[in-house]
């Protein structure tokens, strides 16, 4: 019996199954990478928005205790809590007005709520410490 060159049907089916499994794995890796990229971009945008909001507090608007809410755009909103800190009195430094700022940035991604929180301390401007006297 003379055997002709080529592949049998079973060999072709095995090769096709291996190709399908490897393509599925590649697709899963690439789609997971795309998801991570979108999420990373969201956190970067939230960080940029937070930085711009925190810079305004105490500079273009006064430091006042309380809670404020707002939105940066259609996707990102924020909540800012300002509370006065009571540090230990230091006779060398004198009175201080120290405030804790807690900023939460909220958004939705693929139907799931996301948020990131930023916290910093801010010293009241010198004019406020001296009661407006210089």
Residue range 49-71, pLDDT digits in tens: 999 999 999 888 888 899 999 99
Q: The domain containing residue 72 runs over which residues? A: 9-129
Residue 2 lies in a domain: no
Residue 134 lies in a domain: no
Residue 97 lies in a domain: yes
- DSSP three-state, residue 56: helix
Residue 21 lies in a domain: yes
Distance CA 56, CA 58 (A): 6
State the burial class of residue 50 (Cβ atoms within 10 Å of its Cβ: 0-12, 13-18, 19+): buried
pLDDT band at 86 (very low <50, low <70, confident <90, very high): confident
pTM exceeds 0.85: no
- DSSP three-state, residue 131: coil
Residue range 4-61, pLDDT digits in tens: 677 788 888 888 889 888 888 888 877 777 788 888 999 999 999 999 999 999 888 8
* Residue among 103, 101, 104 nearest 121 (CA): 101
Residue 4 lies in a domain: no
Residue 1 lies in a domain: no
How many structural domains comprise the chain?
1
Residue 23 lies in a domain: yes
Is residue 119 pLDDT above 50, yes or no?
Answer: yes
* Residue among 99, 94, 87 nearest 61 (CA): 99
Q: Which pLDDT score is estimated for 100?
A: 93
């Amino acid at each position: 019996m003379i055997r002709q060159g080529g592949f049998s049907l079973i060999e072709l089916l095995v090769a096709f199954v291996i190709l399908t499994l490897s393509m599925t794995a590649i697709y899963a890796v690439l789609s997971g990478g795309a998801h991570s990229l979108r999420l990373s971009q969201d956190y970067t945008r939230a960080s940029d928005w937070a930085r711009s909001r925190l810079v305004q507090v105490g500079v273009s608007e006064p430091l006042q205790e309380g809670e404020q809410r707002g939105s940066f755009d259609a996707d990102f909103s924020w909540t800012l809590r300002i509370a006065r800190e009571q540090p230990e009195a230091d006779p060398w430094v004198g009175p201080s007005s120290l405030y804790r700022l807690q900023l939460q940035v909220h958004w939705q991604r693929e139907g799931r709520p996301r948020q990131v929180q930023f916290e910093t301390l801010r010293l009241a401007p010198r004019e406020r410490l001296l009661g407006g006297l210089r």
